[in-house]
Structures are given as C-alpha cells and as structure tokens.
Amino acid sequence: MGEAVWPAAVAVATGLLACGMTRVLIPILARREILDHPNERSSHLVPTPRGGGIALFGAVLLSWLLLARIGSAPSGVFGIALGAILLAAVSWIDDLRGLSPAARLLVQSAAVAIGVSALPELPDFLYLGAIGLVWIWWINLFNFMDGIDGLAGSEAAAIGAGLLMFATVGAGADPALRALAAAVTGAAVGFLVWNWSPARIFLGDVGSVPLGYILGFLLLDRAVRGHWKIALILPLYFLADATITLTRRLLRGERIWLAHREHFYQLAVRRGLGHAAVVRRVIAADLILIGCGWAAENGWGATSLGLSAATVAILLAMLARGS
C-alpha cells in the first residue's frame, strides 16, 4: 500500500468535481427532457431533471480508481468499480424506459457476486450467501429511500463521515478507509448543492443504485472485519424506515416493488413538513448515530447500541407525526 493521502484533500477535490459535473448535467438533462414528472406517488411538484447520480457516482468512481492506482486504496476497489458501472448502466436504461424487477434483481445479483470477491476472506458458502442477500436488500432500500430532496445525498454523506471518523480516530484507524470514505463524503456534499430542497436535479436510479452498492461495500467490509456495530449503527435510520415500511406492505399483500408514499419520511411530508425540515431531522439523528457508531467500537458497545435504537425510534415517531 502506498503512502496515505490527506482525506481533506480527497473530499474537497471529489466534492468540487461532483458539484461541477452536476451543474453541467442539469441543462443537458432538461434539454433532452429526461425529467421526473410529478404524480400521485411522488413528493415533488414540478418536472425535475433526473440522472444527477451520474455526476455523484462518477466523481466517487474516478476518485476511488485514482486512489487504488497510487496504492492508497485496496486493489479490490477495481472489482467494486466494475460492479458499480454494471449497475449504473442498467439503472440508466431503467431511468429512460423501465426494466422489470426480475431483470434489475439479476443484474444486482451479478454485481454483488463481483463485489463479494473484494471483501476480506469469508469462511463458508452460507456466510457468503447471507452477505449477498443483505447487500442486495441494502441496494434496493437505498433506492427506495431516495424519495425527497436531499435525503439520499445526506445519508451518503453521513455514512461516509461516520466511517471517516472511525478510520481516523480510535480502534478503527485505517488510511485506505479514510481515503475511500472521504471521497464518498465529498461527492455527496457536492451533489447536495444542487439537490437540496428545492432540488434542481435528482439522483435517479443511475445514482441511487450504484451509490447504495458502494456504501454497502464499505459497511460490509467493516462488518466482516469484526466491526459490525458501526456497520449497523450508521445506516440504522434507512434500515429501520425501509424495513418497517416494506414489511407492513408485504403483510397487507401489496406489491412491494411498486412506488408508493408510505415511508416515514414521506408521511412527514404528506403531513405538513417540508423536504428540508425532514432532512434536517434525519441529519440531526445521523450525527448522533455517528457518535454512537464510533463509541460502540471503542468500548461503549451496549450503551451505544441502545442509544442508537432509541434515537431512530424517536426520529420515526417524529416523522410519522409530521408537523
């Protein structure tokens, strides 16, 4: 492994690249009428360009590949890049003309199979299968949670920042993880400049699907290395909101792969909270989760897990109540 790079430099460079690329994409997508039109299941009011994830995902990918090339990131990143590009290509087709759930799931399974090979050595086939299923579920739930301005980008920034803190201070010091997490954090913040409410552009599936894949890799890599607590705590709000909502719909016999407006964050918007107000509440909870994740891996496991669960439960209750 080569010399460690400055994470701040990585974050700033990747953030500027993502911000600039997003700004360029907005008029291009608008001219080509690649727009997300409001409907009864959406939470926006005007047609908005979608596909901005090309910039966010592209900035992260370029940064990761450069880091791997200079030896500041593991060589397994090349496999993750391949899987992410595959997902982005198919998701772009899905954005333009739609694909069946079976086709999307098949491609996701292939990308996850590629990605699993980049994780540390795993003990047996059953464990590999469980990792794969968790990864596929995370990719899809991250896509489901990309439903209001700034939410998915803020969550990506929070997870990246939490992993960056963990890799910098305390038991999880890891120069390679610092660099990778800094790139994700910077790119997410750069994209949020244009995606914060009122959004000028949306991620689209071309952004949310590969971004979920990349974040899944970072979290699962920590988990299989023994740091499962931070891998659980950092994305806990997204995990809870999506899993509870989809379980309810499944029990009612609904087709869970269809778009809807029943997530807790969507209920909050429907009941009077603006997009920015919802996301600010999520960010506040995420800041607590970042602290809990770090503390859990540095000697405060049970206490931090309990506080994390309480934080998410309070957030869900607040969102369900709305204004």
Rounded to the nearest integer, the mean pLDDT of the chain is 92
Cα 151 to chain centroid distance, Å, stands at 10
- Span 47-63, mean pLDDT? 94
Q: What is the pTM of this model?
A: 0.94
Tokens linked to 157: 């920034």
* 45 or 127: which leads in pLDDT: 127
| Cβ atoms within 10 Å, residue 69 | 13
- At residue 6, the pLDDT reads 86
Tokens linked to 160: 């990246």
How far apart are alpha carbons 31 and 213 in whole angstroms?
29
How far apart are alpha carbons 46 and 294 in whole angstroms?
40
Lowest pLDDT segment from 36-45, 70-79, 147-156: 36-45
Tokens linked to 150: 């700034």
Per-residue pLDDT tens over the stretch 119-175: 887 767 778 889 999 999 999 999 999 989 999 999 999 999 999 999 998 878 899
- At residue 1, the pLDDT reads 39
Whether pLDDT at 2 is above 60: no
The answer to whether 214 and 225 are in contact (CB under 8 A) is no
- At residue 40, the pLDDT reads 57
Per-residue pLDDT tens over the stretch 106-123: 999 999 999 998 888 776
Write the DSSP string, 126-195. Answer: HHHHHHHHHHHHHHHHHHHT--STTHHHHHHHHHHHHHHHHHHSSTT--HHHHHHHHHHHHHHHHHHHHH
Per-residue pLDDT tens over the stretch 281-318: 999 999 999 999 999 999 898 999 999 999 999 999 99
Tokens linked to 37: 């039109």
- At residue 255, the pLDDT reads 80
For 267-304, letters b (16+ CB in 10 Å) and e give bbbeeebebeebbebbeebbebbbbbbbbbbbeeeeeb
Whether pLDDT at 41 is above 70: no
The answer to whether 190 and 10 are in contact (CB under 8 A) is no
Whether pLDDT at 4 is above 80: no
Asked, as a colleague might, if the bond just before 120 is cis with ω within 30 of 0, I would say: no
Whether pLDDT at 53 is above 70: yes
- Span 237-251, mean pLDDT? 94
**Residue 259 confidence class, pLDDT cut points 50, 70, 90:** confident
**Residue 39 confidence class, pLDDT cut points 50, 70, 90:** low
- At residue 5, the pLDDT reads 65
